[in-house]
Copies of this chain bind each other. A is one copy, B any other.
């Protein structure tokens, strides 16, 4: 019976993996990757393949949910699943791990740098002053969840910062900070909430993990 190792790729490019993660990927019989929870903007699958020295099969969210290909491989030998950031942040990773354990497959996590701690560091803010995090999704006419504003309101009442993650589509399109701010302003206006107004101080970070992360701070409007 094999092993399934969840390997964190970290934040930006192929060099944000740990030495332990690289060892695990190189030692694996098969290497899979997913980029639907985040993408590594500073690298490509080809560069990762060159570094690891073997082919990488990219999986969609559906592949991971379905899981049979990766579990079959892990029954036969050792499998590394490469995941941007720190693994197990997505429910699909946790579900896959539970299925592997049920199937008698050993599992292991190799942690990687995550935006959850890195965002505070880049901004010089203290991580214990952050309340719960939230994600602003791509919205539509019928899909306009209020949960991101709920979380911001709850945190602001307690004087806490909120880490607001931005949604990403499977094709790699990601929600911009500008669109997310616009959406939050709309939600707050509809609700007549003062938790997110034109005056609210917003910090936006991008390309974290690169040599020159992009940081902007200012009022929401």
Contacts and interface: CB of A to CB of B under 8 A. Distances in A.
Interface in A1-48: 8, 10-11, 13-20, 22-23
A132 interface: yes
A176 to B, nearest CB: 21
| Copies assembled | 2
B121 A127 contact: no
A160 B38 CA distance: 24
SS class, residues of chain A in contact with chain B: mixed
Given A89-B127, A91-B126, 20 more contacts: A10-B111, A14-B19, A16-B20, A18-B18, A18-B113, A19-B19, A86-B121, A89-B117, A94-B126, A98-B124, A108-B211, A111-B121, A111-B209, A113-B114, A116-B127, A128-B134, A128-B135, A130-B132, A130-B133, A131-B132
A132 B128 contact: yes
A195 B128 CA distance: 19
A95 to B, nearest CB: 10
A180 interface: no
Interface in A106-164: 108-109, 111-114, 116-118, 120-122, 124, 126-135, 154, 158, 160
